[in-house]
């Protein structure tokens, strides 16, 4: 039986993961750091792994510059709470657009996360995913593709 407290914890962890993804896509690095435990570890597919909050944030910041547009959506959470720790599995769909290289990468994966309650709030202690697939398309192959807005572009630009 799930208690109200456990449901509250599950809701807090869902909110934490959504905040983490929003901060990545909006490049809110300080707020992103607040979702992570100091000792966090992260592994994103076969290419990127980081240890420690500062390294995770710096690594993502280095990968996701303002000329890279990202969209990360996590769905179908499976969260198990055990006291002050928890595990989570999420279905990820993502898209990366790099206009300078006329490239769009998209795919899906399953995130495997761990969480801990620290100082009364949930933080991510480990996160990472394994791809189910990844695909790439040259945007020149889609003549009608137009980027009509980009929140990361300098004022007056796309």
Alpha-helix runs per DSSP H in the chain: 4-26, 29-33, 53-63
Query: Which pLDDT does position 1 carry in this prediction?
Result: 39
Instruction: Give pTM, 2 decimals.
Output: 0.90
pLDDT band at 3 (very low <50, low <70, confident <90, very high): low
User: From CA 91, how far away is CA 130, in angstroms rounded?
Assistant: 10
pLDDT > 50? residue 6? yes
pLDDT, one tens digit per residue, over 121-153 is 999 999 999 999 999 999 999 989 888 888 777
Query: Which pLDDT does position 156 carry in this prediction?
Result: 54
**Cα angle: 130, vertex 134, 135; to 5 degrees:** 175
pLDDT > 90? residue 112? yes
Q: What residues have CB less than 8 Å from 7, skipping those under 6 apart?
A: none
């Amino acid at each position: 039986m799930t208690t109200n407290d456990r449901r509250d914890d599950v809701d807090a962890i869902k909110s934490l993961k959504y905040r983490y993804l929003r901060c990545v896509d909006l490049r809110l690095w300080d707020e992103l750091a607040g979702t992570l435990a100091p000792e966090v570890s992260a592994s994103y597919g076969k290419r990127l792994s980081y240890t420690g909050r500062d390294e995770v944030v710096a690594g993502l910041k280095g990968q996701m510059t303002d000329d890279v547009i990202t969209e990360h959506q996590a769905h179908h959470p499976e969260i198990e709470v055990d006291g002050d720790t928890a595990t989570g599995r999420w279905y990820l769909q993502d898209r990366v657009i790099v206009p300078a290289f006329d490239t769009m990468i998209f795919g899906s994966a399953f995130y495997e996360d761990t969480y801990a309650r620290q100082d009364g709030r949930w933080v991510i202690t480990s996160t990472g995913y394994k791809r189910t697939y990844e695909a790439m398309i040259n945007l020149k192959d889609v003549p009608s593709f137009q980027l009509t807005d980009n929140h990361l572009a300098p004022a007056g630009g796309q």
